[in-house]
């Protein structure tokens, strides 16, 4: 099978279901951003040496592929695709709560950085928020399965807490944001 088809050379592509759209379509921004996020999650997973977190990140990557396939499909597509459900969201919440129990109370916003792993968590968080915004934009015109925005919302929370948790594990000080007084 050839990897190139030349069908997209004029700036259009096919969604799952066959509909042709411009490559600037909001659906492509949404699932392209999810794909970008998945790549960063892979890089983050490559850096972390904690088996259970690596396993969680691998599961998140699987869920992101599922989510991307849902976003790449037209609402009337007949193709049977894997789906997200309440279990996926609850799984993230369970992980968030477990990490959060081990962290000091947050008293201010935290500046991203301090260690490459922590920074990758924050990059993943911000890309996830962008994917969520694009997904909401798609939903304004065409139906998006309701678990997708919820999963992305929770996933960005996961990356924020993971950044704080990794700061603790790596013994890196968090830098609180202190607004400058005028």
Is position 6 within any domain?
no
Give the CA count within 13 Å in the CB-facing half-sphere of 22. 3
Is position 181 within any domain?
no
Confidence (pLDDT) at 106: 85
Is position 8 within any domain?
no
Record the pTM: 0.93
Is position 67 within any domain?
yes
Is position 157 within any domain?
yes
**Rounded to whole angstroms, how far apart are CA atoms 14 and 12?**
7
**Rounded to whole angstroms, how far apart are CA atoms 71 and 112?**
29
Number of domains within the chain: 1
Confidence (pLDDT) at 49: 95
Residue-wise DSSP of 117-172: HHHHHHHHHHHHHHHHHHHHHHHHHS---THHHHHHHHHHHHHHHHHHHHHHHTT-
- Contact in structure between 139 and 75 (CB atoms under 8 Å): no
Residue numbers of the chain with a pLDDT score lower than 70: none
**Rounded to whole angstroms, how far apart are CA atoms 46 and 22?**
34
Question: Residue 133: which domain range?
Answer: 23-73+84-101+111-173
Is position 106 within any domain?
no
Confidence (pLDDT) at 137: 97
Is position 3 within any domain?
no
CATH code, 164? 1.20.1200.10
**Residue 174, CA distances (Å) to 101, 140, 159 in order:** 17, 38, 15
Is position 10 within any domain?
no
């Amino acid at each position: 099978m050839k990897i190139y088809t030349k069908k997209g050379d004029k700036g259009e592509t096919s969604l799952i279901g066959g509909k042709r759209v411009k490559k600037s379509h909001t659906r492509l921004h949404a699932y392209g951003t999810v794909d970008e996020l998945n790549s960063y999650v892979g890089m983050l997973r490559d850096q972390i040496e904690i088996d259970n977190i690596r396993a969680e990140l691998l599961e998140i990557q699987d869920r992101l592929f599922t989510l991307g396939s849902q976003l790449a499909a037209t609402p009337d597509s007949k193709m049977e695709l894997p789906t997200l459900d309440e279990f996926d969201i609850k799984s993230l919440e369970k992980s968030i709560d477990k990490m959060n129990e081990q962290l000091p109370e947050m008293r201010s916003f935290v500046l991203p950085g301090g260690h490459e792993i922590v920074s990758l968590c924050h990059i993943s968080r911000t890309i996830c928020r962008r994917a969520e915004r694009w997904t909401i934009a798609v939903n304004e015109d065409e139906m998006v399965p309701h678990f997708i925005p919820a999963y992305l919302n929770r996933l960005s929370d996961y990356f924020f807490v993971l950044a704080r948790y990794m700061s603790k594990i790596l013994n890196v000080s968090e830098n609180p944001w202190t607004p400058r007084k005028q």
